[in-house]
A and B are shown apart, each in its own frame.
Chain A
């Protein structure tokens, strides 16, 4: 962890807590490790590492039906595996869900194998009419709260997408 990324992770955690999020379900992506470690240490949250991203969708949706605020945290590749769960549970029953994922495959990603996410992540979101908000820099972190509240207002899922520059401190 660098001081800068630790600060970003702490600010993300504070933003989640300010929304009333108590449960964070996660599957890792390297870019997210500071956020996951921060949430894991933070007594304001119950952090549940899950076996696959769809399990996070189920957990957070059930938590909503018990009036508990929650967030599902995952990489872009993981997000691409949850379209079935999202559209079946959250669209069918109109259960709000807040997700946080990485904007893999965008300019600055060093990993060639994320080309598919660069090409298809946002088109897939558009295809299922799912709103998203890109969080590019620390000054944008406040948009997490606005996005979380959007899910509750409209009873739909929404995802915020973190860039590499935000999570790994630039180049």
Chain B
């Protein structure tokens, strides 16, 4: 399925989820699909750490629902993250693994063992139980609402099988925020919906 259309479909089913995107194309695609500037943290400056970042946030704020996107290029750099995610087993975290089988942000450079990597099997091998795969927009429209609505315990891992960005899509706008601006926009939103105090630190 088309990468951006996949993200548009997921965005249609979003209600109050907080979103973390990864280095690579996921930030561009989510920005194209949503133009969200407060409830999404575009963690562009980090390879392979978006779901760890999301796990810290999910642990800190268990009443927030967190969606974290990560490309398979980032996943290849740190697959052991799934051991940590399984161990933490946070019910408010969904890890979307965006599988385009390339390093998308670097002109679709080749990914090791691309044809044979079975990410769902890897996740199950680490002991994850809530593992899902979407290969079409129709499947997202049909099954994501139930997946999202279920009150099942434990962490959720979803593989999105998408096509690499086209040359035109590679030119999609990057989320236009400097780091500190993004931190404060996002943090103020988290403060407003949870009542927590991120920035009012006092010694």
Contact = CB atoms under 8 A, between A and B. Distances in A.
Interface in A88-135: 88-89, 92-95
A94 B45 CA distance: 12
Interface in A43-67: 46, 48-52, 54-55, 57-67
Contacts of A54: 48-49, 52, 78
A114 B181 CA distance: 40
B172 interface: no
A67 B203 contact: no
A23 B47 CA distance: 22
B interface SS class: helix
A51 B57 CA distance: 18
Nearest to A66: B60
Given A46-B59, A51-B78, A58-B49, A65 B88 contact: no
Given A55-B81, A58-B49, A23 B180 contact: no
B78 A65 contact: no
Interface residues of A, number: 35
A39 to B, nearest CB: 15
Nearest to B183: A93
Interface string B59-73: 111001000000000
A62 B55 contact: yes
B46 A89 contact: yes
A153 interface: yes
B52 A62 contact: yes
A11 interface: no
A62 B179 contact: no
A152 B180 CA distance: 14
Contact of B87 (A49, A65, A70, A95): A49
Contacts of B61: 66-67
Contacts of B87: 48-49
B54 interface: yes
Nearest to A145: B203
B197 interface: yes
B123 interface: no
Interface string B26-66: 00000000000000010101111111111111111100100
A14 B51 CA distance: 30
B182 interface: yes
Nearest to A58: B52
A55 B49 contact: yes
Contact of A94 (B53, B78, B183, B203): B183
Contacts of B183: 65, 93-95
A155 B169 CA distance: 35
Nearest to A96: B201
Given A51-B84, A92-B179, A62 B56 contact: yes
A58 B53 contact: yes
A168 interface: no
Given A48-B87, A65-B41, A65-B198, A60 B56 contact: yes
B165 interface: no
Interface centre among A54, A58, A63 (most CB of B within 10 A): A58
Interface of A: 22-23, 46, 48-52, 54-55, 57-68, 70, 84-85, 88-89, 92-95, 149, 152-153, 155
Interface of B: 20, 41, 43, 45-61, 64, 78, 80-81, 83-84, 87-88, 179-180, 182-183, 186-187, 190-191, 194, 196-198, 201, 203
